[in-house]
Amino acid sequence: MEFAPPSWEGTLLASGSEVHPVDRLLVVHYLLCNVPLRPSREWITFRQFAGGQFYWAPFRNRTIVPLIEDVGDDLETLRHRLDRFDWSPMAAGDVGAVIRVLGEARVAVVYRRGDDEFGAGADVLFDSSLKRIYGAEDAAALAGRVCLGLRANPCTVCSGCGLCDLKPIRKTEMKGGV
């Protein structure tokens, strides 16, 4: 990513496309951390962020539930979609993955196939060092971007993913009326 102050408009260098507004915010908060991030390799849940316990149900409905609805029990599809990220396996669940999201920042996705008694399940875990950089709202946005990236139609600028206030741009609204 390349950013141009003072607006912090960003470009993905590999594709030349615009950086998603949520990613821009997460990068700025990451860069504002006054202590270099060193992963602890201690995993915490969203509930362990300040305010996370209160916001648990909306967090789950924005991140985990849509991922489960999209993937279901198709673990091969999930493994294939993980290749969209820089990730490494984690010994947890039926599919466990540690995903490098930004610099030294890591999240883990633990996915479990359903059985006769319970449907599929998933958890998003955070390296505990992220509590120094992000609050619950940022952690929810980070997890939302990861979970959207693992779905069939990953979020792009601006597909109307619901993580930011932007609305999808219709071609008729574009400058020049394409």
pLDDT digits (tens, 9 = 90+) for 10-66: 888 888 888 877 888 887 778 777 877 888 999 999 999 999 999 999 999 999 999
The per-residue pLDDT for 16 is 84
Collapsing DSSP to helix, strand or coil, 152 comes out as coil
Spatial neighbors of 23 by CB under 8 A, at least 6 apart, are: 1, 10, 145
The per-residue pLDDT for 175 is 35
Per-residue pLDDT reduced to its tens digit, 98-137: 999 888 899 999 999 999 899 999 999 999 999 988 999 9
Q: Are 109 and 89 in contact (CB under 8 A)?
A: no
Overall pTM > 0.75: yes
Backbone angles phi and psi of 126, in degrees to 5: -125, 140
The per-residue pLDDT for 154 is 61
Q: Residues 152, 156, 159, 162: is their CA dihedral positive or negative?
A: positive
Distance of alpha carbon 147 from alpha carbon 63, whole angstroms: 6
More reliable by pLDDT, 94 or 168: 94
Chain-centroid distance, C-alpha 131 = 16
Q: Are 27 and 102 in contact (CB under 8 A)?
A: yes
Res 169 pLDDT > 70: no
| Domain extents in the chain | 38-168
